[in-house]
């Protein structure tokens, strides 16, 4: 037993319903944020914004300074997290449309499936962005399947893709929430359908204007990616999305006390469109991007308080991380750049979301272990989110081989702070592009022909170059000095290793 949970005989003297103390296995709450940067939290050195609830997790646990998402965008990162495989192994896992079919094979091993087989009740609340439905895509007006319930979750309450993609409705288990059958939903990512106004044709109706893209159907004064019509009663309210997700998370936690549970709370914050609730509007002094960081901190506080109230905190592991690096202007005129001041979302790392540089994939990772033995620890160990599948399997006491899982490794000793080295090597995937290979203190970026900046407007370096790039991350964490010509044998070695891994 890892956390010294009490035996049944100790904690359950009466006939009362069993309490959490009786559980042998710890609950797992994984708070996965969207586009939150390495420098966006006060616990990671931010001085212009304060995130006390998230920082408290670090004070009571381990803060990792060398942790990576597997990709610089959402869909592939999430694919890796839930399958234990790098997403570039599977075609079609780049940023998914809002009407994409389910990208995860229902027959394969998945993170929630592993935990479910170990007796966990499993739930996902929030952003999905891994497709829904069969090869024809989701049937918004009928049963939406396959989806999370077919890959190992017992409960789901989803933003189907992203906040900036239609349809702007929640899906609970197999159905759109609050859908009026007399007002069916139609969605198209090809052409305009129906007569709802678009940002392109009716910019005068917008409360938040796009800066690039995002000029299709207007929902709640915000034009989105993709066209939709219908489902008026089902449309979400952008200002209360976090409250809705917290509410559903609380309900899931409160109804899961009879067995260990895994809650995957995948926040919309801090992705675009950044629409803070009135409680947070104007509170950061950095405009909506800063305000939704405060809102995210509120979410964490609510979840921790719920666990406390339910007497679950001493048997629940809380993990906090992000799906990819930060972006300032991601397509809406929300003053993120104008009001940034001295705040550095990447914490000074080069690049950002989409990029092959570390700003794309190096993310905050904080783990609060309930035994209290690791308070305030900082770990430099190399960690990849692809390892959560096998690590959680070990945590849940599952002793199975899982032959279809190629990349995930058991990193339990690393996440417990007992191994301070971590992975030998890991791979990062940037937008549309090359892979990077990190081994120890070194990083190699594959050569590729392509634009130097993300072509559609966020002003972020892609990291694309015709020549191989090699950086020493410890001496040069901002990847300024390309050492490829100084260390040609290392380049050859890494290139070969990467080629071999790609074929494995
Ligand atoms: C891009 C969107 C961006 C964001 C991203 C996905 C445009 C111009 N930009 O295509 O706003 O939605 O996709 O972000 O449309 S992610 O975090 O879900 O990967
Ligand atoms: Ca993201």
pLDDT digits (tens, 9 = 90+) for 257-310: 899 999 999 999 999 999 999 999 999 999 999 999 999 999 999 999 999 999
Ligand 1: atom nearest CA of 271 is 17
CA distance 208 to 188: 22
pLDDT given at position 502: 93
Phi, psi of 296, rounded to the nearest 5 degrees? -65, -40
CA of 74 to the centre of ligand 2 (A): 4
Is 199:260 a contact under the CB 8 Å cutoff?
Answer: no
CA of 396 to the centre of ligand 1 (A): 35
Q: Name which residue sits closest to atom 5 of ligand 1, judged by CA.
A: 95
Is the minimum distance from the CB of 456 to ligand 1 under 6 angstroms? Answer: yes
Residue of 73, 289, 292 best suited for mutating to test ligand 1, as the one with most atoms within 8 Å of CB: 73
**What is the pTM assigned to this prediction?**
0.95
Task: Classify the complex by whether its ipTM is higher than 0.95, answering yes or no.
Answer: yes
Ligand 1: atom nearest CA of 456 is 8
> For residue 493, what are the contacts with CB-CB under 8 A and spacing of at least 6?
none
Sign, CA torsion 14/18/20/24:
positive
> For residue 420, what are the contacts with CB-CB under 8 A and spacing of at least 6?
379, 380, 381, 414
pLDDT per residue as tens, the chain (504 positions): 454 333 333 333 333 433 334 457 999 999 999 999 999 999 999 999 999 999 999 999 999 999 999 999 999 999 999 999 999 999 999 999 999 999 999 999 999 999 999 999 999 999 999 999 999 999 999 999 999 999 999 999 999 999 999 999 999 999 999 999 999 999 999 999 999 999 999 999 999 999 999 999 999 999 999 999 999 999 999 999 999 999 999 999 999 989 999 999 999 999 999 999 999 999 999 999 999 999 999 999 999 999 999 999 999 999 999 999 999 999 999 999 999 999 999 999 999 999 999 999 999 999 999 988 899 999 999 999 999 999 999 999 998 989 999 999 999 999 999 999 999 999 999 997 789 999 999 999 999 999 999 999 899 999 999 999 999 999 999 999 999 999 999 999 999 999 999 998
As a dihedral over the C-alpha atoms of residue 275, residue 281, residue 285, residue 290, rounded to 10 degrees, the angle is -40
pLDDT digits (tens, 9 = 90+) for 50-99: 999 999 999 999 999 999 999 999 999 999 999 999 999 999 999 999 99
CA of 24 to the centre of ligand 1 (A): 41
Q: Name which residue sits closest to atom 13 of ligand 1, judged by CA.
A: 95
Is the minimum distance from the CB of 213 to ligand 1 under 6 angstroms? Answer: yes
Ligand 1: atom nearest CA of 210 is 8
Is the minimum distance from the CB of 100 to ligand 1 under 6 angstroms? Answer: no
Is 44:38 a contact under the CB 8 Å cutoff?
Answer: yes
Is the minimum distance from the CB of 429 to ligand 1 under 6 angstroms? Answer: no
CA of 214 to the centre of ligand 2 (A): 16
Tokens of 24: 């042998």
pLDDT given at position 433: 75
Is 320:376 a contact under the CB 8 Å cutoff?
Answer: no
Beta strands, E only, 192-341:
218-219, 222-223, 227-229, 261-266, 316-322
């Amino acid at each position: 037993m890892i956390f010294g949970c009490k035996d049944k005989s100790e904690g359950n003297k009466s006939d009362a319903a069993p309490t959490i103390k009786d559980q042998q296995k710890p609950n797992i709450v994984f708070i996965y944020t969207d586009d939150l940067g390495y420098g966006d939290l006060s616990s990671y050195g931010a001085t212009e914004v304060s995130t006390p609830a998230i920082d408290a997790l670090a004070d009571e646990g381990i803060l990792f300074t060398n942790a990576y998402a597997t990709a610089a965008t959402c869909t592939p990162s999430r694919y890796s997290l839930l399958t234990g495989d790098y997403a570039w192994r599977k075609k079609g896992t780049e940023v998914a449309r809002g009407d994409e079919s389910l990208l995860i094979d229902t027959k394969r091993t998945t993170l929630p499936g592993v935990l479910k087989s170990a007796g966990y009740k499993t739930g996902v609340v929030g952003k999905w962005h891994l497709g829904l439905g069969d090869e024809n895509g989701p049937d918004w007006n009928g049963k939406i399947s396959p989806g999370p319930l077919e890959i190992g979750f017992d409960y789901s309450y989803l933003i189907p893709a992203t906040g900036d993609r239609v349809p702007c409705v929640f899906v609970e288990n197999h159905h759109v929430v609050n859908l009026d059958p007399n007002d069916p939903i139609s969605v198209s990512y090809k052409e305009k359908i129906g007569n709802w106004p678009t940002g392109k044709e009716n910019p005068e109706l917008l409360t938040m204007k796009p800066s690039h893209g995002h000029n299709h159907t207007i929902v709640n004064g915000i034009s989105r990616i993709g066209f939709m019509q219908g489902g008026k009663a089902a449309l979400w309210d952008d200002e209360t999305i976090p409250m809705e997700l917290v509410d559903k998370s609380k309900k899931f936690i409160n109804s899961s006390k009879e067995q260990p549970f895994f809650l995957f709370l995948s926040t919309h914050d801090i992705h675009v469109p950044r629409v803070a609730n009135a409680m947070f509007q104007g509170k950061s002094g950095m405009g909506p991007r800063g305000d939704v960081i405060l809102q995210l901190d509120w979410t964490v506080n609510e979840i921790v308080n719920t666990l406390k109230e339910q007497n679950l905190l001493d048997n629940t592991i809380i993990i906090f991380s992000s799906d990819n690096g930060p972006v300032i202007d991601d397509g809406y005129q929300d003053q993120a750049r104008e009001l940034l001041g001295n705040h550095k979302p990447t914490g000074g790392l080069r690049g950002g979301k989409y990029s092959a540089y570390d700003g794309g994939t190096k993310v905050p990772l904080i783990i609060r272990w309930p035994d209290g033995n690791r308070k305030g620890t900082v770990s430099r160990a190399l960690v990849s989110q692809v390892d959560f599948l096998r690590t959680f399997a070990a945590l849940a006491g599952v002793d199975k081989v899982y032959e279809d899982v190629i990349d995930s490794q058991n990193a339990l000793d690393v996440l417990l702070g007992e191994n301070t080295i971590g992975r030998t090597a890991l791979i990062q995937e940037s937008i549309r592009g090359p892979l990077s290979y990190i081994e120890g203190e070194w990083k190699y970026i594959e050569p590729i022909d392509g634009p130097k900046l993300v072509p559609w407007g966020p002003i972020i370096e892609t990291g694309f170059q015709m020549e191989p790039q090699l950086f020493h991350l410890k001496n040069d964490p901002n990847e300024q000095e390309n050492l490829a010509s100084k260390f040609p044998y290392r380049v050859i070695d890494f290139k070969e290793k990467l080629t071999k891994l790609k074929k494995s």
